[in-house]
Amino acid sequence: MKLLSILVTSHLDTVPPYWPYERHGDVIQGRGTVDAKGSVATQIIAAQTLLQANKILEGDVGLLYVVGEERGGLGMRQVNQLGLSWESVIFGEPTELKLGRGHKGGLGFTVTAKGKAGHSGYPETGTNAIDSLIRGLAALQHLELPWSEDFGNSTLNIGRIEGGVAGNVIPASAWAVGGVRVAAGTPDSLKDLIETAISESDPNLEVDFTYGIGPVPIDHDVDDIPSLKGKHKRYLYGPGSILNAHSAHEYLTASDLEEAVKGYQRLITHLLKSDSST
């Protein structure tokens, strides 16, 4: 496996729906400005300006931008097949221009309900899949999820529900997509909790898991992350607030972008000096 010095990386994909980009004074709005187009733009400018100033040489820094981060990190997992490794990796995500100490993991799942269609006026002729799904999702709300002093509470979110064909038809199928942001424990232990709650709530339910990642500690010894395998040091940094990401009011500021360029430059030059001294 070829060992390189520094990788600077982030993701290009965003969550739906699309919100057009607009600028009002210092404020830049639009889908993905925070998560994570702001990181991508400032990383590229930071590397370009360092190269133009002869502060980095060809081969010192690699840039990598992937898709699929918002759907389980498929793009970054494909990178593992390239046969490359790095001394240090700088991940671009919204951290309010602070060097992250770590972040929660994630567990994705889909709950599927199977029923039997029939006329809504005669409920005894069918089995209502939406009723089953509601019972299962209600059971999940009562789970005691693990927490940690570093990352706080694990949190569960049901982000999408769909089912049935019409208001006067007993629904034969329904499903919901959700996830847990894992603050402590392992994805396997959470899978057991969720499977037990779902199976005990209604016999017409099944749950399938799409991905599972535990909490990720980050290096911070400087004045998509879990999917990239290797023994490299990991750094998390970027402009914008995670509280604005995935929202209709997603925005960051031009002044934050300017400061992020300086921040990435400091990270890169610090890590190059650290690598050369070891």
Q: What is the C-alpha separation between 166 and 163, in angstroms, rounded?
A: 9
Per the residue annotation, which of 58, 69, 96, 149 is the catalytic one? 69
CA dihedral sign, ordered 34, 57, 232, 3: positive
Q: What is the C-alpha separation between 64 and 47, in angstroms, rounded?
A: 12
Residue count of the chain: 278
Angle 68-56-39 (CA atoms, 0-180°, nearest 5)? Answer: 30
Instruction: Write b or e for each residue in 13-49: b if 16 or more Cβ atoms lie within 10 A of its Cβ, otherwise e.
Output: bbeeeebeeeeeeeebbbbbbbbbbbbbbbbbbbbee
Assess whether 250 carries a catalytic annotation: no
Angle 232-41-38 (CA atoms, 0-180°, nearest 5)? Answer: 90
Report the candidate in 76, 71, 91, 106 with the shortest Cα–Cα distance to residue 215. 106
Q: Is 173 helix (H, G, I), strand (E, B) or coil?
A: strand
Q: What is the C-alpha separation between 37 and 33, in angstroms, rounded?
A: 5
Catalytic residues: 69
